[in-house]
Chains A and B, each alone.
Chain A
Amino acid sequence: MQAAKENFLLYLADSTHILSHRNSEWCGHAPILEQDIALTNIALDLLGQSRNFYQYAAELIGNNATEDSLAYLRIESEYKNLLLVELPKEDWAHTVLRQFYFSVFLFYLYQQLQQNKDVQIAAIATKAIKEVAYHVRWSGEWVIRLGDGTEESNQRMQYAVEAYKNFTGEFFVLTNYEKQMQIDFELIQQQWNDKVAAVFNDATLSFTNSNFHQVGGKEGRHTEYLGYILTDMQYLQRTYPNATW
């Protein structure tokens, strides 16, 4: 149970961490200033969630683990993030759609975690869910704005839907450690499907349901893209161990 909880915390920490990094790549590049600020704010919220999960995981793992050692000194195959969040940022349509898929999942997951028997997990979820609600609204509104926008924006949105169709299934293909967490994932899947369907309806987009799912991220089997992120992120600690500033 303890090991399952550690893995589950690392899965959440790594997923929020990597998506935070991907969003931060937009800093200075978003279409307009307000959206640049919105996306970096979301990146900051995700990083805050990630730090709290790492800190708690480090406490449980012991052995002098810290949030920094978990973030900076684990290799690719030890990272447990969803494949969806490590994919390159692509265009604005891909970015807002990925954020939407992920935020809707987190929202319903945190809704359950608020009642978790583990008080620290419950506290993090209770704190974070207000912010995740903002993310759902911001990203969902963009999905509708682009989907129900111009011919080109609709087409780009539809390309993004196509690009991620095999990656959203991983939310609900459960690992052993998730199965031990006493979370009703079937309920989350139902809620996720309903929310995505409602927004897609408003956005005049069609959801491509895929029976084939790309999985493995949650158990350390990643696409080629994660390595580049970790190289970028871990370079300093790897080259100058224990460097501080």
Chain B
Amino acid sequence: MVNEQSISVANIWKIVETIPDPEIPVISIVELGVVREVKIENDIIEIIITPTYIGCPAMDMITMHIKLALMEAGFKNVKVTSVLSPAWTTDWMTEETKNKLKAYGIAPPNTKQIVCTPDLFIQDEAVACPHCNNFNTKMVSRFGSTACKALYFCNNCNEPFDYFKCH
């Protein structure tokens, strides 16, 4: 028996907030900044999402998870729309979200935006190791296990870690 809830924007947000990011399950797709807006018109629920990176392969899965979660709550008329503008940025991430990333072993994004330059050999400002908090770290590769992460190594505790690139 489905749990019938009244259709309200606030209720829909509450459900969407429970959906974890498929690649970093400790934060939700709302905390990641992928869900931009919830609209209700003539009993049709529209969820506006935006990709982190333009080719993010998780978008189709996120769309499916949104539809499934809302269906489970009894909402069947759901439309998920993907938009590109405004372009996603890690600046939308709250301190709380960043702390969750760190506790999970991923260094959270620095706030300073230096990515949009074609100048070579530019490094992000010092990235702290999420394990030992030491700043004596180095970038191994600008591209990590997913498009949004870079691969780092900590010279202090000798552990590799992912850095959520500021973007």
Are these two chains actual partners, yes or no? yes
A51:B122 contact, CB within 8 angstroms: no
Candidates B88, B115, B140; contact of A34 at CB < 8 Å: B140
Number of interface residues of B (CB under 8 A): 28
Name the prevailing secondary structure of the B interface residues.
loop
Contacts of A124 on B, CB cut-off 8 Å? Answer: 54, 84
Number of interface residues of A (CB under 8 A): 37
B residues neighboring A (CB under 8 Å): 51, 53-57, 83-85, 87-88, 115-122, 140-145, 147, 151, 167
A133:B115 contact, CB within 8 angstroms: yes
Candidates A46, A134, A141, A199; contact of B115 at CB < 8 Å: A134
Interface string of A28-42 (1 = CB under 8 A from B): 000000110110011
B54:A49 contact, CB within 8 angstroms: yes
A166 to B54 alpha-carbon distance, docked (Å): 31
| Minimum CB–CB distance for A24 against chain B, Å | 12
Candidates A34, A44, A51, A140; contact of B141 at CB < 8 Å: A34
Known: A42-B143, A45-B147, A123-B83. 6 other contacts (CB 8 A): A37-B143, A37-B151, A127-B84, A131-B53, A134-B142, A140-B118
Say whether, besides A123-B85, A126-B87, A44 and B55 are in contact (CB < 8 Å): yes
- List 6 tightest A-B contacts by C-beta distance, closest first: A48-B55, A48-B54, A34-B141, A123-B85, A38-B143, A41-B143
Contacts of A136 on B, CB cut-off 8 Å? Answer: 118, 120
A179 within 8 A of B: no
| Minimum CB–CB distance for B111 against chain A, Å | 15
Candidates B84, B122, B142; contact of A126 at CB < 8 Å: B84
